[in-house]
Amino acid sequence: MSGLFLLSTQLYSVCMESDWHFTPVSVVDKTDRVVSGMQSSRTTVALQSFKKLALGAFALGSSLFAASGALAQSTQEYVVVLKSPQVIQEALGLPQTNLGTVLQATLGQIGITQSAVTRQFGNVIFGFSAQMTEATAKRLQAHGLVDVVEKSISFKVTGVQNNAPWNLDRIDQSALPLNSTYSYQQEGAGVHIYILDSGLRASHSDFAGRVGNGFDAMASSGGSGGLLGGALGGGLLGGGGLPLGVGFGGLQIGMNTNSIVQTKADPSTLDPSTNPSDCNGHGTHVAGNAAGSRFGVAKGATLHAVRVVNCNGVGTSTSVLAGLDWVVANGVKPAVVNMSLGGSASNVVDRAVRNAWQSGVLVVAASGNETRNACNSSPGREPLTINVSASNRSDQLASYSNFGTCVDLIAPGDGIVSASHQNDNGTATKSGTSMASPHVAGAAAKLLSAGVPMNQIEAALIEQSSKGRISNPNGTPNRLLFSN
């Protein structure tokens, strides 16, 4: 058996080297590709016969080897970005149809079963996430219908320190000392801030009357598990309009069967499926920084909870993509997304943020708390985000804050008092770039409310920032948030 397997492996490697290299290729039968325009038909037939023999021997050898345990490979979650629906329709000869049909046809073409799929995406990216082996991921990367295959990575929220509140006092004046007041001309009324985080205690008094519908990406999958199930059984993401009429159904559990915006903070009026609760506390605190009536920058903005991390503050690129996908499909504009979370570099998450921005959704992100170059973390490193580092009350870059040229603004983030998830009037003190980011999200909401176009918000925030105030910028643009 070992000799047969060795022979089949050697023959198969010849085919791999000649035709099946791991780069995007067109959708053709690769075993029939002519290697030279000068080949005779006899040479071509001989080559084809050789390849069929090699593949047959490989299949036989593989089946024998499987008995010894070769199939017991571990699986991991990968995100797969497909070519555009138009490219796939043309390649597969599909008629003009919806995204759900295109994706289902593609899954069949690339050999992925529906049971392996964990999420499907149709807004910020076109593709899916699935459990698969590394070998399968490499095979997909070589497929002509696939653009990018990337392992799903971990995203998490940041740390906590106890200290005194001071942040709002700092951002309405250019220089120290503090004067114990926060003066503001706009409240962000009419703007929607989507908090991609751990959920939200919607009944907290700091948000009374200003909580809209949301989405829980951490909820278990249910229903049919397929796109077409959503279109047939209640869908279009619970009423949100997706391009070409795709409905994600059971894969997007969290939305109800309509898209009614909840506008009251009375717990009896809030549907937990559209207002994910907060079992961690991070999301409620962040929301209070952005738009709380006592602790927030934009005191008139509407808040939406998009839960993308669990009770321990940990999620994955898949859950983050699901949250962004929902916002693009269902978000009410003008809209700001705050992402007080981060992970290692992810080209797919960066692409999703880029696509969200291009759809008209402003994205603000925390630079991270690893005391490292912010250019190494997603989503903040994406140029279309407003990437925020943290300062302390002495106008120093916080000791934990990431830094560098990928940072756009610095904002108060150390010892910040805001809303607690534990009761409707409680407070908590936290520190981190997670606390700095929502200050900028709130300031952006105020500018949007004043009529500044979305694509000019970042430039406006940079222009009005207090320059040169941070004593230890460590290569970070020395721009401290100013908002009144």
pLDDT digits (tens, 9 = 90+) for 207-216: 988 999 999 9
Task: Per-residue pLDDT tens, the chain, 484 aa: give them.
Answer: 444 333 333 333 323 222 222 223 222 222 222 222 333 333 333 334 333 433 344 343 443 333 344 344 799 999 999 999 999 999 999 988 899 999 999 999 999 999 999 999 999 999 999 999 999 999 999 999 999 999 999 887 643 323 435 788 888 788 998 877 887 888 899 999 999 999 999 999 999 889 999 999 988 533 222 332 222 222 211 122 222 222 222 222 222 222 222 222 333 344 445 678 999 999 999 999 999 998 999 999 999 999 999 999 999 999 999 999 999 999 999 999 999 998 899 999 999 999 999 999 999 999 999 999 999 999 999 999 999 999 999 999 999 999 999 999 999 999 999 999 999 999 999 999 999 999 999 999 999 999 999 999 999 999 999 999 999 999 999 999 999 8
pTM above 0.85, yes or no: no
Annotated catalytic residue, options 147, 172, 197, 206: 197
- Say what the pLDDT of residue 274 is: 63
- Say what the pLDDT of residue 358 is: 97
* 128 alpha carbon, distance to own chain's centre: 13
In the CATH hierarchy, which top-level class contains the domain 155-219+254-480? alpha beta
SS3 479: strand
> Residue written as tokens 């696939």?
146
- Say what the pLDDT of residue 133 is: 97
Yes or no: say if 375 and 345 are a contact pair by the CB < 8 Å rule.
no
Annotated catalytic residue, options 418, 434, 449, 466: 434
Give the whole-angstrom CA distance, residue 319 versus residue 304.
16
* Residues forming CATH 3.40.50.200 domain(s) in the chain: 155-219+254-480
Nearest to 81 by CA among 126, 137, 28: 126
282 has catalytic annotation: yes
Annotated catalytic residue, options 282, 285, 421, 439: 282
- Say what the pLDDT of residue 332 is: 95
Q: Which residues contact 10 (CB under 8 A, 6 or more apart)?
A: none
18 has catalytic annotation: no
Question: Where does residue 471 rank: exposed (0-12), middle (13-18), buried (19+ CB within 10 A)?
Answer: exposed
304 has catalytic annotation: no
